[in-house]
């Protein structure tokens, strides 16, 4: 994949990717690695990362639980000190979920909020001062169309992704004077292992897995789409067409959208 425009915009080629061991994080990492970027790859599992890591590349792999703020901050700080800063933070780590609200334990709410939302807050917080010194940088937050669609039987996921959307918009305003861009990515489903660690109810998860596995795009497609937009001064990226259609229909035809959701999706 040709990243000439992105490489030109961020000539130092320094990126941090959370959730880098699988899915879109892993696919993005492979492309950036082939383009000779300096990469800090963070994940709670690192088996796939270790397989492609060797002394000849610019990949630093660290086994990190991004809900552990002390370790998360230390990893980011060390990378920034070694590379004299960071150009892009990709807040990608997260988990999917399928569950009815009445069946979802409060402890599980803590877990998914820590993983999907608070880690994005922390990552953005940790890199801000580094990027402020440079007067340049890009924070990419992986949200979801679920954050504005708010469909039934996935409220824990919806809530966390809505939070990421809100955070991203807020930070885009606040960080702009410092030359820091914030991009929020809100796709609909694409093929990935996002539901692997879900704590939801089996029947709902079965349905959700069917939707994810049947998606036309896979993680490699998603990574290429995202990377192709990173050199642009965008604050929101919706893909594929279904994400744009859902956003448009809910915004302009809210009553019809609500009727359709309750008639066909609430069971």
Which residue, chain included where needed, has tokens 């009727």?
A: 259
Instruction: Tally Cβ neighbours within 10 Å of residue 265.
Output: 11
Q: What separation, in Å, do the N-terminal and C-terminal C-alpha atoms of the chain show?
A: 43
Q: What are phi and psi of 182, to 5 degrees?
A: -120, 120
Which residue, chain included where needed, has tokens 């994940």?
A: 43
- Residue 88: is it exposed, middle or buried by C-beta count within 10 angstroms (0-12/13-18/19+)? buried
**What is the reported pLDDT for 178?**
98
Boundaries of every domain in the chain: 4-264
Q: Does 29 have pLDDT greater than 90?
A: yes
In sequence order, the 6+-apart residues with CB closer than 8 A to the CB of 152 are 100, 261, 262, 265, 266
The domain covering 4-264 belongs, at the CATH homologous superfamily level, to NAD(P)-binding Rossmann-like Domain (3.40.50.720)
Per-residue pLDDT reduced to its tens digit, 175-216 = 999 999 999 999 998 988 888 888 888 888 888 888 888 889
Banded model confidence at residue 7, pLDDT cuts 50, 70, 90 = very high
Q: Does 264 have pLDDT greater than 90?
A: no
**What is the reported pLDDT for 136?**
98
- % of the chain surpassing 70 pLDDT: 100
CA–CA separation, 233 and 245 (whole Å): 22
CA–CA separation, 127 and 167 (whole Å): 15
**What is the reported pLDDT for 54?**
83
Which residue, chain included where needed, has tokens 């590349």?
A: 57
Would you give the DSSP letter of residue 145? T
CA–CA separation, 92 and 86 (whole Å): 16
Per-residue pLDDT reduced to its tens digit, 48-99 = 999 998 877 899 999 999 999 999 999 999 999 999 999 999 999 999 999 9
**What is the reported pLDDT for 23?**
95
């Amino acid at each position: 994949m040709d990243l000439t425009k992105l490489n030109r915009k961020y000539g130092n080629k320094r990126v941090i990717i959370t959730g880098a061991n699988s899915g879109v994080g892993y696919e993005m990492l492979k492309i950036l690695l082939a383009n000779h970027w300096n990469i800090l790859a963070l994940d709670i599992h690192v088996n796939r990362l270790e397989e492609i890591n060797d002394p000849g590349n610019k990949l630093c792999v660290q086994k990190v639980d991004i809900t552990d703020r002390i370790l998360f901050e230390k990893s980011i700080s060390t990378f920034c000190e070694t590379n004299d800063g960071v150009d892009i933070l990709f807040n990608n780590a997260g988990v999917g979920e399928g569950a009815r609200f009445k069946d979802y334990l409060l402890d599980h709410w803590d877990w998914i909020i820590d993983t999907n939302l608070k880690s994005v807050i922390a990552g953005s917080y940790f890199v801000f001062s580094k990027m402020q010194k440079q007067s340049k940088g890009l924070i990419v937050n992986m949200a979801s169309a679920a954050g504005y669609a708010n469909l039934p039987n996935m409220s824990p996921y919806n809530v966390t992704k809505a939070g990421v959307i809100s955070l991203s918009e807020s930070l885009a305003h606040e960080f702009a004077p410092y030359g820091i861009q914030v991009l929020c990515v809100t796709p609909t489903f694409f093929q990935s292992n996002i539901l692997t660690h879900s704590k939801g109810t089996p029947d709902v998860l079965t349905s959700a897995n069917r939707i994810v596995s049947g998606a036309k795009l896979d993680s490699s497609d998603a990574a290429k789409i995202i990377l192709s937009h990173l050199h642009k001064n965008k604050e929101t990226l919706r893909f594929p067409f279904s994400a744009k259609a859902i956003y448009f229909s809910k915004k302009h035809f809210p009553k019809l959208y609500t009727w359709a959701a309750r008639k066909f999706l609430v069971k």
